Each structure stands twice: as structure tokens, then as C-alpha cells.
Chains A and B, each alone.
Chain A
């Protein structure tokens, strides 16, 4: 099956700093990637849809200036949590879609802001 690599798998950062999370599709081109956030014991919440070469589409309530998404190539999307605060601590997961419908998930990133 297709592989999506997400890096880092976990990160601890100080409050006020920024953290970048990478999502790569290793063996296919993904025109669309999705970023999800997951709180403990809850479902995955779609944050934004990332389209190669264009601006990301953010879900209602997600601050685009807080969560910067860049989809510079067909195999790489990045999520940058800017000026992170403890309430941003969460599990972030990306997925990449191989047309028409197949979605493959990264391993997830556990972000802890102290």
C-alpha cells in the first residue's frame, strides 16, 4: 500500500515558539492533503484541506494565521503551529489522497507545549 510519512512523531516545545510538522507521500503524488487534530478520546477533527500550489482551505474555527499550511509540491505538505501555547498541545495527523478516493494517513505527531 501507499506510504505517507509524517515527521516528527513527537515534539516538545516551549510556549511562544513555532513548530513545523511535515507530511510526505512517499510513493505517489497527492494533489490534496488533509490535516487533522485529535484530542484524547475524541475523533479526528478536520483542520484544513491543503491543495498543491494553492492556499489551504481551513475549517470554521481554525485560525489560518495560527496553523500555517504549505503544500509546495505534490509530495509534501507542512503544518506550522505558530507561537504555540499549551492549548495547542494535541495529536496532529495528516492524510494524503490518491485519486479517486484512497486516503493514507501519516503516523501522527504528538505536540506538547510547555
Chain B
């Protein structure tokens, strides 16, 4: 059987709006952070990364913000599209050890 666990937090946005997905990480020594997108039944796909010596990094339609003071990471998606619907995970990396956050399910309404 399968475990009964917590349901993922969900975020529902209208197509064209901006999305902000948040993540709290646990290890203050983590020096590298990544956001992944996971579609149903598939492995995670890399979206954007940021090193601990930065507090902001921009990609195409995505921006990652890092607040080391409160150990918080956020992913901003501009002009959200239906194809952005997926589960998003943050990951922290320390000493070649990667740990994932809880994940957020993003649903984009047309």
C-alpha cells in the first residue's frame, strides 16, 4: 500500500498572472539551491538555481529570490501559462547532499 501523507500545498492562478511559490529550507550551511518542476509521472526538471552568495537570479520568465536570514527561497513565474501547471520543489545542496522541500502544486486556470 501507499503511505498516507500530507497533501501538497496548492496555488491556483489565472493564466497571465504572476505566480510566487515559496519554500523554507532547513540547513543554514546549504550553499546552493535549485528549483525543480515535476509533471505527473516524470522526474524533476531543472528550472533555475542560485548560489548562497546571491540573493536574486533571473531566468526566462522565472526569478529566484534567496533570503538566507530566514532560510527562505521563492520562485516567481511571470505571465503564468497552462504549461506551467505542475508541482514545484525547491532543493538545497550542502556538501554534495541534496534535500528537497515539500513541494507546491501550481494550477493555472485558463
B59 within 8 A of A: no
Write the nearest CB–CB distance from B101 to chain A, whole angstroms: 6
Tell whether, in the assembled complex, residue A97 and residue B96 are in contact, meaning their CB atoms are under 8 Å apart. yes
Interface residues on chain B, number (Cβ under 8 Å): 29
Partner of A44, one of B34, B49, B100, B105: B100
B5 within 8 A of A: yes
User: Considering the chains assembled together, what is the distance between the CA atoms of A91 and B22 in angstroms?
Assistant: 24
Report chain B residues within 8 Å CB of A77. none
User: Considering the chains assembled together, what is the distance between the CA atoms of A101 and B98 in angstroms?
Assistant: 9
* A interface, over-half SS: strand
Tell whether, in the assembled complex, residue A108 and residue B8 are in contact, meaning their CB atoms are under 8 Å apart. no
A78 within 8 A of B: no
Residue-by-residue, is A1-41 near B (CB-CB < 8 Å gives 1, otherwise 0)?
10000100000000000000000000000001010100111
17 sample A-B contacts, Cβ–Cβ < 8 Å, listed by A number:
A1-B46, A6-B43, A42-B3, A42-B6, A43-B8, A43-B89, A43-B101, A46-B98, A49-B97, A87-B2, A89-B1, A93-B44, A101-B32, A101-B49, A104-B46, A105-B43, A110-B41
